[in-house]
Amino acid sequence: MAGAAVAQDKPRDVAIGVETDAPPFSYVEDRKYTGISNDILQRVADLENLKLNYQSLKFPALIPALQAGQIDLAVAGIYVTEERKKIVDFSSPYSSEGSVLIVPAGSKITDVVGLKGKTIGAEQGSFPLTVANKHAAEWGVTVRVYPDATNSLLAMKMGDPDAMIFDSGLVAYELQMEGSKPTIKIVSGLLDPTDIAFAFPKGSNLRAIIDAGIAKMQANGDMTKIRHKYHLD
Residue type, 142: T
What pLDDT sits at residue 159?
Answer: 87
Q: What pLDDT, on the 0 to 100 scale, is given for residue 228? A: 87
Decide: helix, strand or coil at residue 218: helix
Same fold, 12-94+197-230 and 98-193: yes
Q: CB under 8 Å to 51, separation ≥6 — which residues?
A: 11, 12, 13, 14, 45
Q: What is the DSSP string of 191-212?
A: EEEEEE--EEETT-THHHHHHH
Q: What angle do CA 169, 175, 176 make, to 5 degrees?
A: 85
pTM over 0.85: no
CA distance 128 to 165: 6
Q: Distance between CA 64 and CA 51 in Å, rounded?
A: 23
Delimit the domains of the chain by residue range: 12-94+197-230, 98-193
The residues of the chain scoring below 50 in pLDDT are 1-7
CA distances in angstroms from 143 to 19, 55, 124, 168, 181, listed in the order given: 23, 30, 11, 18, 28
* Architecture of the structural domain at 12-94+197-230: 3-Layer(aba) Sandwich (3.40)
Question: What is the predicted pLDDT for the residue at 198?
Answer: 99
State the pLDDT at residue 125.
87
pLDDT of residue 173: 84
Three-class secondary structure assignment of 41-85: HHHHHHHHCEEEEEEECCHHHHHHHHHCCCCCEEECCCECCHHHH
Quickly name the fold that domain 98-193 has.
Answer: D-Maltodextrin-Binding Protein; domain 2 (3.40.190)
